[in-house]
Amino acid sequence: IVGEASRTDLAPHPAKSFWRSKLDSGALWNIIQYMMDRQYNPILRPHLAENPSSVSYKTEMSKRTGDRCFPNYEINNTMPDYAKLPIQMKNVVTTMHCRDYLLIIDPLDVCDAQAKKGAPTLLMAIKTQTANFENREAIWETWGRSGNIKTLGGRQRLVRRVFLLGKSKDLHIEEKLHLESEKYGDVIQWDFVDTFFNLTLKDVLFWDWFSRRCPHARFIFKGDDDVFVRTPAVLDYLLAEETFVVGDVISNAAPIRSNGTKYYIPESFYKGLYPSYPGGGGVLYSGSLAHRLLVVSQRVHLFPIDDVYLGMCLQRLGVYPIDHPAFLTFDFPKDEPKEPCANHTILLVHKRSPAEMFQLLNETSTPNFLRPTGTPITMKMRKINFMLTLS
């Protein structure tokens, strides 16, 4: 019988190899990831079992000089349609080997890195851009307050907040950001230009910062600066599991091939469906998972869409994100009537302006009175209310 051993004292011989010795796809990202997989394969490289940190991923596509990483324009030859790509995608292709960037602003007093006792229950890591002062101000004054926050159940839990930024080419804005950092002490800034396709860098660099500066935080909320979060409800919801991730999970998504959108990924760059991933408007995961994400991210090549990259890392860890209907990263469904108390049933909603954040804080801070008689409630809302009751 194929796949069975002829002697019982020997282990069965597999009918075929259980890792791919040949790559079917010719897409650039798939090729690079395949090379990384082979480099980290403990069967092909047995010494990894004893010293997994001994691998340093470098290919002929990487070009580094000292501590600075430079664009690699030789890689242009590996993509037949490179000349036709949008400029932002060209920048991704030539710099995606770079993932180590200097910290320009590093807040030291967010957490006590050495003390487990007194560590925050929740660390909020909010992706923002240097010019978005109004968004950050609204977050300071509404859902992103730092300190002891009262849950809906009346308990006090410690919350800390940081903003994740790249740099701006506008020197005046940079000066204002440094003044803001001195006042609030919550800005983390790295030495890369802040663009949409650089959001993945904020994830991998934040995981490294977290491991050094706030390693004992129990939970992390990672989100955008244009969402509204019911922080007391989130604190009540937090689970006891050591490894979990919760959000608005997107499954079986395919790359968008239309080059008129900001999510455009050409077929020459990536082939295949995306793994399941939580939408990037906001996601909640455990601190212990963040440490594991830091490690596994060293073995997953950077991908320009941050939500998808998180899904790729989770897939490598064998961690499946939990879909929670109270994470509305695409806002309330347009085909369902919105009941008056709907905002009392959410954990997060996207997108909201600074003015809307203040409005939502006032609304959700008032008691959730009985729903008016006859107001229709959808099946989705029933599910939300049921899950929040359980939490």
**Which of 101-115, 235-249, 289-303 is predicted with the least confidence, judged by mean pLDDT?**
235-249
Phi and psi, residue 349, nearest 5°: -140, 140
**Which of 149-153, 225-229, 376-380 is predicted with the least confidence, judged by mean pLDDT?**
376-380
Instruction: Write the Ramachandran bin of 185: left for phi over 0, alpha for psi from -120 to 50, otherwise beta.
Output: left
How confident is residue 350, by pLDDT bands cut at 50, 70 and 90? confident
Residue 69: is its pLDDT beyond 90? Answer: no
How confident is residue 38, by pLDDT bands cut at 50, 70 and 90? confident
Q: What is the share, in percent, of the chain residues with pLDDT greater than 90?
A: 58
Query: Rounded mean pLDDT of 76-83?
Result: 89
Neighbours of 121 (CB within 10 A): 19
Q: How far is CA 215 from the centre of its chain?
A: 17
pLDDT, greater one: 16 or 317: 317
Residue 66: is its pLDDT beyond 60? Answer: no
Domains of the chain and any CATH numbers: 103-322 (3.90.550), 327-390 (no CATH)
Q: Which residues pair with 124 in a beta bridge?
A: 161, 221
Q: What is the pLDDT of residue 347?
A: 86
The predicted-structure confidence for 289-332, as pLDDT tens digits, reads as follows 999 999 999 999 999 999 999 999 999 999 999 998 888 877 77
Q: Which residues pair with 264 in a beta bridge?
A: 256
Residue type, 78: T
Q: How far is CA 246 from CA 236, 319, 387, in A?
A: 14, 11, 13
Residues 370 and 204: their CA atoms lie apart, in Å, by 44
Q: Which of 230, 238, 224 is nearest to 347 (CA)?
A: 230
Residue 167: is its pLDDT beyond 50? Answer: yes
pLDDT, greater one: 254 or 25: 254
Is the C-alpha dihedral spanning 44, 47, 53, 59 positive or negative? negative
> 206 by DSSP, 3-state: which?
helix
Q: What is the pLDDT of residue 308?
A: 97
The string over 366-381, giving b where at least 16 C-beta atoms fall within 10 Å of a residue's C-beta and e elsewhere, is eeeeeeeeeeebbeeb
Instruction: Write the Ramachandran bin of 316: left for phi over 0, alpha for psi from -120 to 50, otherwise beta.
Output: alpha
E strand or H helix at 215: none
What integer best gives the mean pLDDT of the chain?
Answer: 83
**Which of 337-351, 354-368, 375-389 is predicted with the least confidence, judged by mean pLDDT?**
375-389
The string over 2-32, giving b where at least 16 C-beta atoms fall within 10 Å of a residue's C-beta and e elsewhere, is eeeeeeeeeeeeeeeeeeeeeeeeebbbbbb
Q: What is the pLDDT of residue 240?
A: 60
pLDDT, greater one: 328 or 49: 328
Residues 221 and 126: their CA atoms lie apart, in Å, by 8
Q: What is the pLDDT of residue 249?
A: 95
Residues 246 and 227: their CA atoms lie apart, in Å, by 16
Residue 7: is its pLDDT beyond 60? Answer: no
Residue 272: is its pLDDT beyond 70? Answer: yes
Residue 239: is its pLDDT beyond 90? Answer: no
Residues 5 and 2: their CA atoms lie apart, in Å, by 8
Residue 1: is its pLDDT beyond 50? Answer: no
Q: What is the pLDDT of residue 280?
A: 72
Residue 166: is its pLDDT beyond 90? Answer: yes
How confident is residue 10, by pLDDT bands cut at 50, 70 and 90? very low
**Which of 193-197, 251-255, 290-294 is predicted with the least confidence, judged by mean pLDDT?**
193-197
How confident is residue 246, by pLDDT bands cut at 50, 70 and 90? very high
